[in-house]
A and B are shown apart, each in its own frame.
Chain A
Amino acid sequence: MATVEYAGKSFEVDEDGFLQRFEDWCPEWVDYVKESEGIKELTEGHQKVIDFLQDYYKKNGIAPMVRILSKVTGYKLKQIYELFPSGPGKGACKMAGLPKPTGCV
């Protein structure tokens, strides 16, 4: 398990760069990750997706299905990829501090 130091904060991450604890999430985390996820400037759209993922995770204990993410945010999958080039799992969930997606991905 590696530890990342950024902007005076430290984050424990796994080999794929996912946060080990959701509680460690803070805005600095997003700032730190965005570069490696191919994002230059954080926009309102990015924030909307991240906020929804966090909200859903806190309420339900899981990440939302892609269809639910689209339906609630109003972004089609194509638009989500425009915001997060690595996609909703590797990109958006990582930035939102959710656990790494599992299963036969």
Chain B
Amino acid sequence: MAFISSGYNPDKPMEDRITDIGPRKFDEFLPPVIKKNFGEWDYHEILEPGILVHVAKSGDKVYTIRCGGARLMTTSHIREMLEIADKHCGGHLRFTTRNNVEFMVDDEAKMKALKEDLASRKFAGGSNKFPIGGTGAGITNIVHTQGWVHCHTPATDASGPVKAVMDDCYEHFTSMDLPAPLRISLACCLNMCGAVHASDIGLVGIHRKPPIIDHSVLDNVCEIPLAVSACPLGAIKPTKTELQGEKVNTVAVNENRCMYCGNCYTMCPALPLADKEGDGIAIMVGGKISNRISEPKFSKVVVAYVPNEPPRWPTLTKTVKNIVEVYSKNARKYERLGDWAERIGWEKFFELTGIPFTHHCIDDFRDPAYYTWRQSTQFKFTSHVK
């Protein structure tokens, strides 16, 4: 295609340059009913899964329909949202912190027309374009990352497994039949971009093999001290090696110390470690960020490894679904997954879910590991402890 200039002049890059203007101010985009009643909301109700009504002290109402979003989307899809917003919502819409999309209208009749329109839209493959749900005690969208679509450090994909898990848990997106909201998040490597460390169910891509060292370029493309200090376990040391009769600076990895985190690769492109058979997903449970009743919690590893099985990740989806169903059947109302597991005891969690407990889940990282062991005679006899 022919080059089309935006007006930028590469010969004078600093001329007419606009900088530090920040984002547009949020209130430029508020629907009139939100603007008018800003800070004056009285109460809200969840009318049905995916549909909320907020009532202002003035008596004004705003109806919100929340729809699932794939997060990764084309401009055509965004244009379709804009078409819907133009048709029903005076051109306004918003995205939630879990990447759902919300359409707002100011009366009930408009809400019903909007709902019908949204429910009718499907992709050619049959998937709903705007599935309504994600409110209350159900499973809302999965906070996720780049995966094989864009990042260079993933141990698994993001968009693929998220589609597979949401397909399997779809009934909980469109209903509110769980004891409390259940947040699922996925990160494709231990960097944990997103929310996996503080979610009811967290899915994290992991490696199981140490990095491969490309001695021929390492000293040229890496700052060696950075690679050494990137290692949480002190497994890397600087060294010299013979390469075609020449001595070169490089690093050595003590494979008995390496736990395959991949941090050194993040800092040094000459230490790749992704591996088709080795890589997979670890499953964590029991995290939350709200302060409701119990303090916020980190999620804890309960399944050390499930294999990558593109395109549908059947072992992963089956394991997640099982955890959701066992929690749903056993937890009390308002109990988040972590509240439940802590009340019944982790040995009971493993027994009820039937997840085999392995030594991999026992913390062995530095002094704090000690605090995760049991310094008490209080435990229950289970199928794991007889």
Contacts and interface: CB of A to CB of B under 8 A. Distances in A.
Interface of A: 20-22, 38, 57, 60-63, 85, 99-100, 102-104
Interface in B237-274: 266-269
Interface of B: 13-14, 191, 217, 220-226, 266-269
A25 B222 CA distance: 16
Given A38-B14, A62-B223, A102 B191 contact: no
A102 B14 contact: no
Which has the most chain B C-beta neighbours within 10 Å: A22, A57, A99, A104? A99
Contacts of B221: 20, 99-100
21 contacts: A20-B220, A22-B220, A38-B13, A38-B14, A60-B225, A61-B223, A61-B225, A62-B223, A62-B224, A85-B13, A85-B14, A99-B220, A99-B221, A99-B222, A99-B223, A100-B221, A102-B222, A102-B267, A103-B266, A104-B191, A104-B266
A102 B267 CA distance: 5
Contacts of B13: 38, 85
Contacts of B191: 104
B225 A62 contact: yes
- For the complex of A and B, 10 pairs with smallest distance between CB atoms: A38-B13, A62-B223, A21-B220, A102-B267, A61-B225, A62-B225, A61-B224, A99-B221, A62-B226, A20-B220
A100 B270 CA distance: 12
Given A38-B13, A38-B14, A102 B226 contact: yes
A99 B223 CA distance: 7
A65 to B, nearest CB: 11
A82 to B, nearest CB: 9
A61 B251 CA distance: 13
A20 B222 CA distance: 10
A21 B221 CA distance: 8
B188 to A, nearest CB: 14
A7 to B, nearest CB: 21
Given A20-B220, A102-B223, 6 more contacts: A38-B14, A61-B223, A62-B225, A62-B226, A100-B221, A103-B267
Nearest to A23: B220
Contacts of A99: 220-223
A87 B269 CA distance: 22
Contacts of A100: 221
Which has the most chain B C-beta neighbours within 10 Å: A85, A102, A103? A102
A38 B225 CA distance: 31
Nearest to A24: B220
Nearest to A21: B220
Contacts of B217: 20
Nearest to A1: B217
Given A38-B14, A62-B225, A62-B226, A102 B266 contact: yes
B220 A102 contact: no
Contacts of B14: 38, 85
Nearest to B221: A99
A15 B194 CA distance: 29
Nearest to B226: A62
B225 A102 contact: no
A27 B141 CA distance: 54
A13 to B, nearest CB: 12
A22 to B, nearest CB: 7
B154 to A, nearest CB: 13
B12 to A, nearest CB: 9
